[in-house]
Chain A
Amino acid sequence: MNVEQTTIPKKFHDAVLHWQRHNFPDYDLLPQNWEKYFPNEPAFCLCAKMEIGMSNTIEVGDRQGAPRMMKPSEMGEDAAKHLLAIIRAQASTEFGSIQQHEMTLARAPEDEDRFWVLRVMAEELRHGYQMFHMLTSQDWSSVSSQSAEEMIEEILSMRTGSHVLDAFNVDYDSFVDNVVFAAVIDRVGKYQLAMQRVCSYKPFAQSMPPMLREEAFHLAAGVIPLRRWAQRAAQGAELVTMSAIQKSFNKWMPRGLEMFGHEKGGDSNIRFGFKNLKNAEAQSQYYEECRKMIADLNQRYLRARLPKSSPEQAESLAASLIRDRGRHQGISADDLIELPDPRFFRRKGEPAWTMVGTHGEVFDDVDSYVAHLRAVLPEPYLASRDLKQYVGTLREVVAGTITADQASKRMPNLKRVGGVCPCSNSVRWIVEEPVPAGRTA
C-alpha cells in the first residue's frame, strides 16, 4: 500500500495511551487474540497513515485547479477555521464511539462479534490519533486561540454527553447497539471520509484513503452480525429479535441523518474545496444505502423462514408485505425491519421537532408522539437522559416557549464534561516530560 506511517510527538502519543487505559481497557485483549480472529493479517498499529501519490491539484470549489494547500496559513482565515472545526469534530467522534462501544462490549453474544468490534474500536483510536496528527503537525495558532495541547486536552476530556455530535452523546443499551451503530453511524463516517478525499488541504486528503480502507471493515462488523441475527431470528432465536434490531435502527437512524448537517447546508464545504457533496445530496445517498441494507437483512430473514424461496421471491415478498401490511405464510411486515421515515425523531435539520412517526405519520400532540416513541424505541433507552431531554425540549417547542432553532442549538447539552484524568485530580491527559537538568521549561 502506498502509505507513509508516522507517530505524533511523544507527549501526545502518551496522552492517547493514557486516555486508552481509562476509556478502552479492553484494548490489550486485541494483540493477545489477533492471530485467532485475524490470522496472517498485519498487526494493528497506533500511528498516523498518510496516502502517498495523491494529486496535488484541488478538485472542487473556488480554487479548483490550483495546487492543494499544505499549511493552514495558506487557506485563509475562514477556511482554516472551518477545517479546524471539522478536524476537531471528527476527532471527537472517533474517541466518542470508543467510549460508547466499551460500555456494552462484554455483552457480545459471541466472541467473534466481540473481537470484530474490538478491532473497530482500536481502528477508531487510530483515526482519532490521525486527527491529532492533523492538529499537532501544523501550526493552527492563526485561527485558534487554543494551543495544540489545549485542543487535545479538550477532546480527550469529552465524554458521552459532551461530544460535538449528538450520535456520540447517546449511551448504548445492549450489544445490539454496538452492531447497529457500526452499520448505521459508521456508514455516515464512510460518507464523510469519502467526501473529504477531495480536500483542498492535502494532509487532510491524504488521511482519508487509509481511514476509508479500515472503515470498510467497520461497516462489515455491523452488517454481517446483523445478517446472522436476522437468520437466527427467523429460526426462533430469542436473544436478538427482529423487533430489537428494528428499535435500535429507530434509535440511531435519526442521529445518523443529522450527522450530515442541515439539509440546506454544505455550501462552504464545497466552496472551500473540503468536500464534493452538499449535505442534502450526501444524506439522500446515505438514506438509500440504508434502504438497501435493510432490504438485504429482510431477504436473509425471509430465506431462512422460507427456504424454498429464491432471492427474487424473497425480495418481492418483503416489498409487498411492507407495502400492503398483509401476511404470507404466517409472516407479516412486523416481522421485518423497516427504514424509519427520514423525518422521524429529528432534533436537528429541516424536520427537527416535527413529530413524524416511523412510517411518516404526523402527530399533532406531544403525548401521542411520546407514546409512539415509547412503542418504537428500545425499552432501556426510554429511561435515558437523552430521551428525557428531547421530550422536555419538544414540549417547549410545541408550547411555543422556544423556537425549533433554539431547541436544536440546545443539543447536545454539554453535560458530563470530564476535565482531568480520573486517576488523579491534578493530572491531565497530557503529561509534560520532566525537563532535563540544565534546561529551562
Chain B
Amino acid sequence: MNSSSGQVRIRALTELDISRVVAIDERLTGVYRPDVWERRIGYYLRRDADACPVAEVDGKVIGFMFTDLRGGEFGLEDVSGWIERFGVDPDYQGRSIGRRLFESAQTHLRSRGATVLRTLVEHKDEDLAAFLRAVGFRNSPLTALELRADGTGT
C-alpha cells in the first residue's frame, strides 16, 4: 500500500507515526494520551500495518484509520474488517482525506478476505456517522448493547 495524489500520500502505519497520531487525537479530543496510542499502535503493527493507512502531506501525518481483520466474533462467521480508530487533523478536514483512508483500508481488507466491513459509532457522533454513510455504510441488523460490569447499567 503506497499511493499518492496531489500532496496527499497514503501509506502503511509505522512506529514513527505515534507522535503525530497522538497529536491529532489531542487536537480532536483535547486529551494528551501517548500511553494509549503506544499500546494500540504496538498492537496494530503486530497485526498488519497495511490494514492501518495513514495520510501524510509533505511528510507530516494528517490522518489515520486503524482497522483489523477478524472472524468468528459475536457469532459472525464472516471474515470482518473492523474499522476501529479514525482521525483527521482538523486543519485538513473537508479534503476527502477520510474517504481516501477508507478506500485504502477497504481495498486491503478485501484483498485479505474480508467479506464485510463493520464499525461502531456513538449516537452523539453525528459527523462520524455521516462520513461512514457517505462512504457506503448502512445500519446493521446488529444492536450494540452494554452493561457495566457491576451490573448498574451504563
Which A positions have Cβ atoms within 8 angstroms of B?
1-2, 38, 41, 116, 213, 216-217, 219-224, 227-228, 231, 289, 292-293, 296, 299-300, 303, 307, 311
Question: Which residues on B sit within 8 Å (CB–CB) of A2?
Answer: 111-112
B41-53 CB contact bits vs A (8 Å, 1 = yes)? Answer: 1100111111000
Q: CB within 8 A of A219: which of B12, B15, B22, B35? A: B15
Within the complex, the shortest CB–CB distance from B104 to chain A, in Å, comes to 16
Q: Does B38 contact A224, Cβ atoms closer than 8 Å?
A: yes
B19 within 8 A of A: yes
Within the complex, the shortest CB–CB distance from B26 to chain A, in Å, comes to 7
A221 to B46, CA, bound (A): 10
Q: Does B46 contact A296, Cβ atoms closer than 8 Å?
A: no
A38 to B14, CA, bound (A): 19
Q: A220-B42, A220-B45, A228-B38 are in contact. Are A311 and B26 (CB under 8 A)?
A: yes
Q: Does A217 contact B32, Cβ atoms closer than 8 Å?
A: no
Q: A216-B49, A311-B26 are in contact. Are A300 and B42 (CB under 8 A)?
A: no
Q: A227-B38, A231-B34, A300-B34 are in contact. Are A216 and B19 (CB under 8 A)?
A: no
Question: Which residues on A sit within 8 Å (CB–CB) of B26?
Answer: 311
Given contacts A116-B42, A213-B50, A223-B16, 12 further A-B contacts (CB under 8 A): A2-B111, A216-B15, A216-B45, A220-B42, A228-B35, A228-B38, A231-B34, A289-B16, A292-B16, A299-B19, A300-B34, A311-B23
Within the complex, the shortest CB–CB distance from A88 to chain B, in Å, comes to 28
Q: Main SS of chain A's interface residues?
A: helix
Q: A223-B18, A224-B15 are in contact. Are A41 and B34 (CB under 8 A)?
A: no
B108-121 CB contact bits vs A (8 Å, 1 = yes)? Answer: 00011000000000
A41 to B45, CA, bound (A): 12
Within 8 A of A (CB), among B125-150: none
Q: Does A213 contact B48, Cβ atoms closer than 8 Å?
A: yes
Q: A223-B15, A224-B42 are in contact. Are A213 and B34 (CB under 8 A)?
A: no
Q: CB within 8 A of A293: which of B16, B41, B111? A: B16
Q: Does A216 contact B16, Cβ atoms closer than 8 Å?
A: no
Within the complex, the shortest CB–CB distance from A282 to chain B, in Å, comes to 16
Q: Which residue of A lies closest to B68 (CB)?
A: A40
Q: Which residue of A lies closest to B59 (CB)?
A: A292
Within 8 A of A (CB), among B48-62: 48-50
Q: A2-B111, A227-B34 are in contact. Are A41 and B15 (CB under 8 A)?
A: no
Within the complex, the shortest CB–CB distance from B36 to chain A, in Å, comes to 12
Q: Which residue of A lies closest to B49 (CB)?
A: A216
Question: Can you spell out 5 A-B residue pairs with CB atoms less than 8 angstroms apart?
Answer: A2-B112, A41-B47, A296-B19, A300-B19, A311-B23
A311 to B61, CA, bound (A): 13
Q: Which residue of B lies closest to A1 (CB)?
A: B112
Q: Does B14 contact A41, Cβ atoms closer than 8 Å?
A: no
Q: A2-B111, A227-B34 are in contact. Are A217 and B46 (CB under 8 A)?
A: yes
Q: Does B38 contact A213, Cβ atoms closer than 8 Å?
A: no
Within the complex, the shortest CB–CB distance from B27 to chain A, in Å, comes to 9
Question: Which residues on B sit within 8 Å (CB–CB) of A299?
Answer: 19
A296 to B38, CA, bound (A): 12
A231 to B19, CA, bound (A): 13
Within the complex, the shortest CB–CB distance from A39 to chain B, in Å, comes to 10
Q: A41-B47, A216-B45 are in contact. Are A303 and B15 (CB under 8 A)?
A: no
Q: Does A219 contact B14, Cβ atoms closer than 8 Å?
A: yes
Q: Which residue of A lies closest to B41 (CB)?
A: A220
A219 to B111, CA, bound (A): 25
Q: Does B32 contact A303, Cβ atoms closer than 8 Å?
A: yes
Within the complex, the shortest CB–CB distance from B90 to chain A, in Å, comes to 14
A220 to B50, CA, bound (A): 15
Q: CB within 8 A of A296: which of B16, B49, B50, B112? A: B16
Question: Which residues on A sit within 8 Å (CB–CB) of B41?
Answer: 220, 224
Question: Which residues on B sit within 8 Å (CB–CB) of A223?
Answer: 15-16, 18
A289 to B48, CA, bound (A): 21
Question: Which residues on B sit within 8 Å (CB–CB) of A116?
Answer: 42
A1 to B45, CA, bound (A): 15
Q: Does A41 contact B16, Cβ atoms closer than 8 Å?
A: no
Question: Which residues on B sit within 8 Å (CB–CB) of A227?
Answer: 18, 34, 38
Question: Which residues on B sit within 8 Å (CB–CB) of A41?
Answer: 46-47
Q: Which residue of A lies closest to B112 (CB)?
A: A1
Within 8 A of A (CB), among B1-46: 12, 14-16, 18-19, 22-23, 26, 32, 34-35, 38, 41-42, 45-46
A239 to B135, CA, bound (A): 49
Q: Which residue of A lies closest to B47 (CB)?
A: A41
Within the complex, the shortest CB–CB distance from A286 to chain B, in Å, comes to 12
Q: Which residue of B lies closest to A222 (CB)?
A: B15
Question: Which residues on B sit within 8 Å (CB–CB) of A293?
Answer: 16
Within the complex, the shortest CB–CB distance from A45 to chain B, in Å, comes to 14
